[in-house]
Amino acid sequence: MNKNLSRRFILSALLAGVSAPALARAPLSSLRPHPRSGTPAVPAAPPSVKALIQRARLGGKVSFVVADAKTGRVLETNKPLLPQPPASVTKTITALYALDALGPYFRFKTRLMATGPVQNGRLAGDLVLVGAGDPSLTTDDLAEMAAALKRAGVRAISGKFKVNIAALPYIRSIDSGQPEHLGYNPAVAALNLNFNRVYFEWKRRGGGSGRYDISMDARTDRYRPRVSSAKMRVVNRELPVYTYKDAAGVDSWTVARRVLGKGGGRWLPVRKPHLYAGDVFRSMARAQGIRLPAAIEGKAALKGRVLVQHNSDELPVLLRGLLKYSNNMTAETIGMTASAARGYHVRSLKGSAKEMTKWSTSHSGVKKSRFVDHSGLGAGSRLTASDMVSALVKQGPNGSLAHLLKHIPMRDGRGKVIKGHPIRVYAKTGTLNFVSALAGYVNAPDGRQLAFAIFAADEKRRAGLAKSDRAAPRGHKSWNKAAKRLQQELIERWVAVYGG
C-alpha cells in the first residue's frame, strides 16, 4: 500500500476549502542594494515597530519577541509578557512534550485480538479491534488489516465484533464552542479513522425534481466504502445549514437544500470514531470474504491473543505532518498519549493539557503560560511571546523541533512565493477567529539565526461572535490577511536591523 499517497489524498481533500495564504506586501527595503555611478547606495531605514503595527490596523493587541537563536540574547520586543491565545502554535509545545515522553522511535499500535481459538476458519469467540490512539489510521490501513486477518485463517466469528477504546478517554469534540459541522473539531478517541471525518457527497438528479443522490463514505485514493455510522437527510429550510444529533450511536445530519446547488462534497466531523472505524473495518472484512456482525463498543479488560497488528509511522514523521498540516485531532491524541506515558491517568483534554503546562514549566522555559488542550483550538490557552522564544532558544535552531517545522515562504505584493528569497523562515502558524500567531526560526542572509514569536489577537471582537457566526465571521479574512502581512514585515525588519 502507498501510505503516503493515501495521507496526501485525505489531507489535500480536507484542506481543499481552506483559503490560500494571505497576501504580503513587497519587502520593506532591498536587502542588498545595488550601488549606482560608483556611489554606494544607502538602504532606507526600515519602518519602526510602532509604525508597522499602526499600519496593520488590527485592533486588539500585538506582542512579539525576537532573539538570537544561539545565544538567547533578546533583540527586540513588544508586550513580551502578555498572555495571548497561541492558536496552533500550541502544537510546537505538544511536539516537544511528546518527544520527551514517548521518544523518537514510538509507534502507535492498532490490533485485532481474538478471545478464543480459530478452528476451521471460524473464530470461537469475540474479535476485538483495539485502538491505541493512532491519529493517522486510514481506510487503507483497515483494508490491509482485513487482508491480514484472512491470512490468519479467519472467515467468520461465533462471538461479537467489538471495538475497544480504553487506552484514551472519549472526547466528543475538541472545543464545544465551535459550530457542530466544522471538520477541524471532530471527536477524539483511542480508535480514530481518516482524521475522524466522513465525506458527504451530493449530486442533483435530472428532470427538475429537486432531489439529490447523496452518500456518506470513508474515502481514500484507493477505497470509497459507504458507511452506516453516519447518515444525511436533505431538508427544506433556510437556516441552519447543518444540524446534527446522535441517533442511538449514529451520526444523524440534515442539510438545507438551498445550499447544495448541482452537486459537491465536503468532509464532516465524526462524533463516534470508534464505531465509524468498526463500520469501515466490517466493510473491508466483507470484501475479503469475512463475515462480521455490526461493531459494538467493548469496555471489558482485554484478554486474548493478537491476530493482526498495524503500526503507525514513527513519532517524528507524525509530528512533521502535525506541524505542516496542523490537524487538531492528531495533536490531541498525541498529547494525551504523552500524558499517559508520563504516568498521568488521562480523563480529559484539560487534565492532559494541565500536565503539559506543568511539564513545559520545568522542561521548556515556559513560565507564564497555560494550555487547555494540545491543539490550540480551545479559547482558554494562553502563551507569552517571551515563553515561546525561550522554548525555541532552548531547543536551538538546529535542534529536533527546527527539523520538524515547515518552511514559510516569503511572498511579494501579489501574494506569490518569491523563489530563492534570501530570508528562510521555519515556523508554525496559528489561526483562530481574529487571532494570528507565528513562531519559529529565521535564517538571515548573513547566516545569523533568529528565534521569534508573534501573537496578534482582538479578543473583544472574538468575544462578540455568536456561535453560529464562528465558521466564517465577517471581517476575519481581511483581518487575517493584515496579520500575515504584519508578520512578514516584522521579519523583514529584523533581518534588516539585526542580520542581513
Would you say residue 388 lies in a domain? yes
Question: Do residues 67 and 131 both lie within one domain?
Answer: no
Question: Do residues 226 and 239 both lie within one domain?
Answer: yes
Question: Do residues 142 and 101 both lie within one domain?
Answer: no
- Looking at 269, 296, 327, the residue that finishes a domain is 269
> How many domains, in total, are found in the chain?
3
CA angle 74-87-358, nearest 5°?
Answer: 70
Question: Do residues 438 and 373 both lie within one domain?
Answer: yes
pTM for this predicted structure: 0.90
Would you say residue 481 lies in a domain? yes
Question: Do residues 441 and 486 both lie within one domain?
Answer: yes
Would you say residue 81 lies in a domain? yes
Write down the residue that cell numbers 513519532 correspond to: 315
Question: Do residues 374 and 397 both lie within one domain?
Answer: yes
Would you say residue 22 lies in a domain? no
Question: Do residues 306 and 337 both lie within one domain?
Answer: no
Would you say residue 38 lies in a domain? no
CATH code of the domain covering residue 293: 3.50.80.20
Would you say residue 390 lies in a domain? yes
Question: Do residues 405 and 482 both lie within one domain?
Answer: yes
- Listed as ranges, residues in the chain with pLDDT below 70 are 1-43, 301, 500
Question: Do residues 264 and 224 both lie within one domain?
Answer: yes
For residue 43, the model assigns a pLDDT of 62
Question: Do residues 87 and 116 both lie within one domain?
Answer: no
Range of the domain at 236: 194-269
Would you say residue 36 lies in a domain? no
For residue 299, the model assigns a pLDDT of 77
One-letter amino acid of 153? G
Would you say residue 414 lies in a domain? yes
Question: Do residues 344 and 202 both lie within one domain?
Answer: no
Question: Do residues 421 and 286 both lie within one domain?
Answer: no
- Looking at 248, 269, 290, the residue that finishes a domain is 269
Beta bridge partners of 490: none
CATH code of the domain covering residue 458: 3.40.710.10
